[in-house]
Chains A and B, each alone.
Chain A
Amino acid sequence: MTVNDIVHKLGLTVFGGEKGLDREITGGYVSDLLSDVMGNASEGDVWITLQTHKNVMAVASLKEVAAVILVKGLKPDDDTLAQSNEEGIPLLGTELEAFDVAGKLYALIKSK
């Protein structure tokens, strides 16, 4: 499953990083603590968070996550968006809360 697939199936907003929409998804990680993501997320995960600042993309890039989903209608900071485009890591958004979008994503990944 690619990032593009979940964008369509979950009706996600694409803020930036369109270059990476064909990235392959292998799992997900939900956390707002950057060190927790650094320590525990895996390459290919979709990272679900409410953090919108630029360091999110630094962590996303270092960990090579497939994409980042911002929850509850939150919008990325301008420099976060710029780095998403630069890195080619899709920065996505949903109106849903983390629990709901994680549940839907989990079901999608497990159904494959």
Chain B
Amino acid sequence: MKFKYEIEGGNFSKAGNASSEVKKILKQLNVPPPIIKRLVVALYEGEVNVVAHAWNGCIYVEIEPERIDVKIEDKGPGIPDIEQAMQEGFSTASQAVREMGFGAGMGLPNMKKNADQLNISSKVGKGTIVELVIFLNGKR
């Protein structure tokens, strides 16, 4: 089963809507709650990153019997140094975004902790692709 959601850059009033839709679908499909919880954390962080940093983006979710694949693709400034971005506490978020309680440099580490596989590729000035996998049979 495949789903696609669009994300508007800069629009915080809609941040989390896509994650919420995916969560509903996973519940309907009787995916085990611990898996849903992990996926929702990773997905929400990915969604907020697009809202906070990119111009627009898309979330693709593919649900198979043994795994869930998520691809978050955005058009945006890209990440010049992915290793640095992965460090806990590192953030390039604006002051306004930080005051909302985002941009604490916990997003990507949260994604890494909750996904079984995480792959990030980025082109500066073009955009970023985040791919994550969660296995449904408990294999990490």
Contacts and interface: CB of A to CB of B under 8 A. Distances in A.
Interface stretch (A34-42, A65-73, A90-98): A34-42
B128 interface: no
Contacts of B23: 62
Nearest to B106: A35
A55 B41 contact: no
Interface residues of A, number: 19
A62 B17 CA distance: 10
A32 B101 contact: yes
Contacts of B106: 33, 35-36, 39
A34 B52 CA distance: 13
A85 interface: no
B40 A55 contact: no
The size bracket of the interface on B is 20 to 34
B29 interface: no
A49 B45 CA distance: 19
B34 to A, nearest CB: 10
Interface in B87-114: 100-102, 104, 106-107, 109-110, 113-114
A58 to B, nearest CB: 3
Contacts of B60: none
A100 interface: no
Nearest to B41: A38
Nearest to A79: B13
25 contacts: A32-B101, A33-B101, A33-B102, A34-B102, A35-B45, A35-B48, A35-B101, A35-B104, A35-B106, A35-B110, A38-B44, A39-B41, A39-B109, A39-B110, A51-B100, A51-B101, A54-B12, A55-B15, A55-B101, A55-B102, A58-B16, A58-B17, A58-B19, A62-B23, A62-B40
